[in-house]
Structure 1
Amino acid sequence: MLKRTPLFPVYAEHGARVIDFGGWELPVQFAGIQKEHDAVRQQAGLFDVSHMGEVTVSGADAEAYLQKLTTNDVTKLENGQCQYSLMCYPNGGVVDDLLVYKLAEASYMLVINASNIDKDIAWMKQNLSGSVELSDISETTAMLALQGPHAEKIALKLTDAPLQELKAFHFLSDVSVSGIQALVSRTGYTGEDGYEFYIDQADAIKLWSLLLEAGQDEGLVPAGLGSRDTLRFEARLPLYGQELSQDITPLEAGLSFFVKLDKGDFIGQEALAAQKTAGIPRKLVGIEMIDRGIPRPHYPVFADGKQIGEVTTGTQSPTLKTNVGLALLDKAYTQLNSEVFVEIRGVQVKAKVVSTPFYKRKS
């Protein structure tokens, strides 16, 4: 039986096509991936991301515990601030990537990937130490993401809270959005500006309707997982299971900024420090097809007559209209403009290494 979010009942009203996504019945698209992608780039899109997991971490030793569990430096967080981070295995492979929200002193919320909720919580419990309490609030929490250049204008129609003053990777805990209590953050996963609304599941349908109504004149559309993937891909934002996994380290994925090797001991630190010292063997790069063909995940990549890696994500970019991909390659072949060959249905097709992100919004 597939799991459903509290917004499942309204999908059909908007013509959603649903798929099985990691055990969840979720909309891959409403009006179409290209339309939804363009709306987020130019106006705004509304995503149901209630399948994501939320775990609160509290207690006298919460900070020390998270400092040991995650790669980023939790001590740098102020109340009302969040950070992107990763949990690693002792060998440097990734358990999951996540967001850490500092709610108050000794009180945090972690936002984790839906398909990893059980595995992540088991890992957190396995590494629990000191005076720390974990609480999985995923089942009672809904999350809507409003993304795009018109997001701020739309959100401000529904609240008096100073959301326009909210900096990136900051949040307000107790916002009234047309009478609905919400935690509102400004992180995003599309390469555009936007907000996330964390609310009680019982309020999900009401907030969804209110936001769509408020965005009617701003070009707001419901958006599905398909456009969420193309948007995050163009902005070079990683997806767990593709750019990150238990077999791919954050350093190989180009995420060394979020790995503070000098912050003190954390799980995976030794292995990651050793990898950095020895030289990172593989690197995640952008590739662009020169010959016809679309690079898809797991397609092998060749150079000098041997396999040098594989595509992690690839598609025709809806914004650029070019066939591009992210690929994890042997470091020796990752110089810009290096010629490589992607094997597509048994044929090696010419491509070249290009710079990323493929898309960057004009600030």
Structure 2
Amino acid sequence: MGDIQHGPLEDRHRELGATFAEFGGWLMPVSYAGTVAEHTATRTTVGLFDVSHLGKALVRGPGAAEFVNSAFTNDLRRIGPGKAQYTLCCKEVGGVAGVIDDLIAYYVSDDEIFLVPNAANTAAVVAALQERAPAGLTITDEHRSYAVLAVQGPKSAEVLGGLGLPTEMDYMGFADATFDGVPVRVCRTGYTGEHGYELLPPWDRATVVFDALVDAVGSAGGELAGLGARDTLRTEMGYPLHGHELSLEISPLQARCGWAIGWKKHAFWGREALLAEKQAGPRRLLRGLRAVGRGVLRPGLAVLDGDKPVGVTTSGTFSPTLKVGIALALIDAAANIDDGQRVTVDVRGRAVECEVVKPPFVEPKTR
């Protein structure tokens, strides 16, 4: 682990009373008014998140889209300019398609694809692309070129519309706009399960956009939100977090991300391993666990069927929406555990009874 990285708005967060923690090598605001209040605001009104730690990369040159499509799992041909797509960057590790990262690809043009990977994996994604890029293509790490501000919740469109920013694009669409002289890319994306947007202003001019959003979100009855609420919101949706539900040891099929694989494509990294795993059936599958009794579930806990270990939790939290403990867990396929079945989770020597459910735990409103 190198030196801790700092985002463009850290001073602002300190002024606004944030508590901080290290995440993915970056010092990040964890909460302001408290995780539950921030979570609830995002589900009921609007939450504002600074997620500038997220990576950014640019693939540019003749055939950029074609090259990216030959690298990542999803089929870029399903979308076109002005649209974004969730996809995975894989590599074969010991016969399994391990996940270097999951990311969003923004289709700017046939010759320009903008990527948003996870903070800690940006360098690895960029290096993998650079290593295989044909002549004429440039792949650049743009991590500190753009900030990322997420405005999420039922009042998100109202907040952006009030600032004269575009809101009418479809889910996973984006538009380039200007706010107060600052260029900003506005994307109908997010990690909360709510109707929302992610804004990408230049790193060194992010304060102008952020300050206006703080005022607008406050006027709409919303809250500034930190990493704590981001995690409880995405866990309620069953969204994978790299390093928890996806990794070099956990394949897209095990994490139930098969929908993000272009099976009809002739080439992408990890294709042969994924086809073999699809045919054989993954040896374990991501499931949701909802605590029946009291108990807060955390990552890395043993899941038992009777006294037999059948899996391990990958993420776990108290759900502010449902007021119960919830978790995501990798369960052995051979255990034949069905949705609705009861299992127990070993929480520091105490058996917490849980029902196996299919995520999401809360109905998404992204569309």
Q: Secondary structure at the match of 2:33?
A: coil
1:24-173 correspondence runs (5 A): 24-90=26-92, 91-159=96-164, 161=165, 163-173=166-176
Q: Does 1:359 pair with 2:365?
A: no
Map of 1:1-363 to 2, 5 A cutoff? 1-90=3-92, 91-159=96-164, 161=165, 163-173=166-176, 175-331=177-333, 332-361=335-364
Matched residue SS, 1:286 = strand
1:292 offset after TM fit, Å? 2.8
| Secondary structure of 1:57's aligned partner | strand
The answer on whether the counterparts of 1:212 and 1:220 sit within 8 Å (CA) in structure 2 is no
**Cα-Cα RMSD:** 1.4
Find the aligned partners of 2:17 and 2:138 in 1 and give their Cα distance: 42
What is the CA distance between 1:126 and its match in structure 2?
Answer: 2.5
CA contact under 8 A between 2:71 and 2:267: conserved in structure 1?
Answer: no
CA contact (8 A) 2:86 2:103 kept: yes
Are the counterparts in 2 of residues 99 and 111 from structure 1 also a CA contact under 8 Å? Answer: yes
The one-letter code matched in structure 2 to 1:11 is H
2:167 aligns to what SS in structure 1?
Answer: helix
1:288-325, CA deviations, whole angstroms, 9 ceiling, x for partnerless residues? 12233222101111225322110011111010101111
What amino acid sits opposite 2:260 in the alignment? F
1:86 shift after superposition: 0.3
SS at match of 1:232: helix
Instruction: Supply the AA of the counterpart residue of 1:118.
Output: A
Q: Deviations over 1:217-275 (max 9, x none)?
A: 21122110000000111111111111111111111111111011211111111111111
Partner Cα separation in structure 1 for residue 320 and residue 132 of structure 2: 42
Deviation, structure 1 residue 130? 4.3
How far did residue 98 of structure 1 move? 0.2
What is the rounded CA distance, in whole Å, between the counterparts of 1:127 and 1:295 in structure 2? Answer: 41
Q: Distance in 1 between matches of 2:217 and 2:33?
A: 16
Give the Å deviation of 1:333: 3.6
Any idea what SS the aligned residue of 2:163 has?
coil
5+ residue gaps, structure 2: none
User: Using a 3 Å threshold, how does the CA distance of structure 1 residues 335 and 251 change in structure 2: closer, same or farther?
Assistant: same
Aligned residue type for 2:253:
L
Residue 179 (structure 1) shift: 2.5
Q: Residue 294 of structure 1 aligns to a residue in which SS?
A: coil
Q: Distance in 1 between matches of 2:66 and 2:136?
A: 10
Bigger mean CA deviation after superposition, 237-246 or 112-121: 112-121
The residue type paired with residue 151 of structure 1 is S
Indicate conservation of the 8 Å contact 1:283/1:334, yes or no: no
Which of 132-141 and 346-355 deviates more?
346-355
Q: Describe the SS at the equivalent of 2:207.
A: helix
Q: Give identity over the alignment, percent.
A: 38
Corresponding residue SS for 1:195: strand
SS of 2:116 mapped into structure 1: strand
Instruction: Give the deviation of 1:99 after TM superposition.
Output: 0.3
In 1, Cα distance between the equivalents of 2:61 and 2:121?
A: 24
Structure 1 length-normalised TM: 0.96
Deviation at 1:6, TM superposition (A): 0.6
Aligned residue for 1:169, secondary structure, equals coil
CA distance, structure 1, for counterparts of residue 266 and residue 349 of structure 2: 48
Partners of 1:135 and 1:279 in 2: CA distance: 37
Matched letter for residue 356 of structure 1: P
Give the conservation status (yes or no) of the 8 Å contact 1:298–1:312: yes
Give the conservation status (yes or no) of the 8 Å contact 2:57–2:141.
Answer: yes
